Amino acid sequence: MDVHATLGAAERAAVLGLIEAVTAADGFRPLSDQKWVHLSGAAADAAAELAAASRAAAQPTATPAAAPPGVPAAGGVGPRGDGADAGDRAGGPDRAGRDANRVVRRGGPLALLAWIPASGRAEGPPVGYGQLQSGDGTWTVEVAVHPDHRDPQGTVETLLLTTALAVVADLGGSALRVWMAAPPPEREAVAQRLGFTLERELRQLRVPLPLVDAVRQATAPVAVRPFRPGGDEAAWLRANNRAFAGHPEQGDWTLGDLAARRREPWFDPRGFLLHEEDGRLAAFCWTKIHHETRPPVGEIYVIAVDPEFQGRGLGRALAVAGLEHLTAMGLTEGMLFVDGANTPALALYASLGFTPARVDRAYVRPVDGHGGGPERPQTPETPTARPIP
């Protein structure tokens, strides 16, 4: 098992291959958008851009790729002990967890790679990948296991989650959340065996396009215009962070988060619709087209109404404007993700004709600091520690 603060080119390519295999087998990418952006490199590029900008402004922020204590830095496979796994490297009990945690946050997520020992040599692609990220005092991990290396017991997934728990314990403890995309029962059983409990559900909803006439007729349209890169960022961040205040993934976006999306190949300002009132950004609907699916699907990627403007029909008007844009782009199916507890949004989407297509689940577990994590797995016959060269 390896833990990296930053993946080298070869390791990243291997992980991308693993994600491709999982996507082909499951029919969807196993990582959330945020984790995918980090893995695919846009976040690193954006962080580098920000670091350059902040150097120019003499502000020591957003330093990319700072490795936490004991974790290999960019491209490297760090010092190895006697088959030690991540928990032995990522910080230690002599380190203040808070300090280590801060370094990890500044350096971005940690990558967990599970390998199969091959004749004493570290060869072959990884069979499992996990991305572990801290934020807002908690940690989140998402894992992907190669389809050829899944078993009913979830051995590789257990290894990845156990390692994540050990890393979090060594870095001072906190809560660890694991997001699972449309998990089959055996995946949820792994989380439950490791002491995680169900915390949240994220529902994927779909609607056929074009919208039916009755929906369009029941909507009072409002003026929208495309997002202007280089001009609308501050206003958008303000509206987004106000509308999603307290939301664990969406409530605290920075310019870097936005810049990372702008670098994604799917980014198209024509589908990022803003509505202003009295010169203020009141509501927006940001769409994203998934050309990789057959047929392509049009997603409402982020939609929100500034709290001051909610309850006046703007959410409905912007959702319809976004879906009509997707229809004009030739899409025949609309899609979005919504938190299972977001009652206003669920009511809105139901009234537009969306129906449930898939459920993702978040499991969470408290983790004691300073080595208080679970025991490390002892399964020498199965995928476990990468062999010592």
Ligand X SMILES: CC(C)(COP(=O)(O)OP(=O)(O)OC[C@H]1O[C@@H](n2cnc3c(N)ncnc32)[C@H](O)[C@@H]1OP(=O)(O)O)[C@@H](O)C(=O)NCCC(=O)NCCS
Residues that bind ligand X (CB under 6 A): 243-244, 303-305, 310-316, 338, 342-345, 347-348, 351
CB of 36 to ligand X, least distance (A): 18
Q: Which is nearer to ligand X, 22 or 314 (CB)?
A: 314
CB of 299 to ligand X, least distance (A): 11
Q: Which is nearer to ligand X, 285 or 364 (CB)?
A: 285
Q: Which is nearer to ligand X, 63 or 254 (CB)?
A: 254
CB of 77 to ligand X, least distance (A): 40
Three-state secondary structure along the chain? CEEECCCCHHHHHHHHHHHHHHHHHHCCCCCCHHHHHHHHCHHHHHHHHHHHHHHHCCCCCCCCCCCCCCCCCCCCCCCCCCCCCHHHHCCCCCCCHHHHHHHHHHHCCEEEEEECCECCECCCCCCEEEEEEEECCEEEEEEEECHHHCCCCCHHHHHHHHHHHHHHHHCCCEEEEEEECCCCHHHHHHHHHCCCEEEEEEEEEEEECCCCHHHHHCCCCCCCEECCCCCCHHHHHHHHHHHCCCCCCCCCCCHHHHHHHHCCCCCCHHHEEEEEECCEEEEEEEEEEECCCCCCEEEEEEEEECHHHCCCCHHHHHHHHHHHHHHHCCCCEEEEEEECCCHHHHHHHHHHCCEEEEEEEEEEEEECCCCCCCCCCCCCCCCECCCCC
CB of 339 to ligand X, least distance (A): 7
Q: Which is nearer to ligand X, 336 or 367 (CB)?
A: 336
Question: How many Å apart are CA 321 and CA 318, to the nearest integer?
Answer: 5
Q: Which is nearer to ligand X, 153 or 310 (CB)?
A: 310
Q: Which is nearer to ligand X, 77 or 348 (CB)?
A: 348
Q: Which residue is nearest to ligand X (CB)?
A: 315
CB of 305 to ligand X, least distance (A): 4
CB of 83 to ligand X, least distance (A): 44
Q: Which is nearer to ligand X, 104 or 300 (CB)?
A: 300
CB of 208 to ligand X, least distance (A): 18
CB of 278 to ligand X, least distance (A): 16
Question: How many Å apart are CA 222 and CA 214, to the nearest integer?
Answer: 17
Q: Which is nearer to ligand X, 57 or 214 (CB)?
A: 214
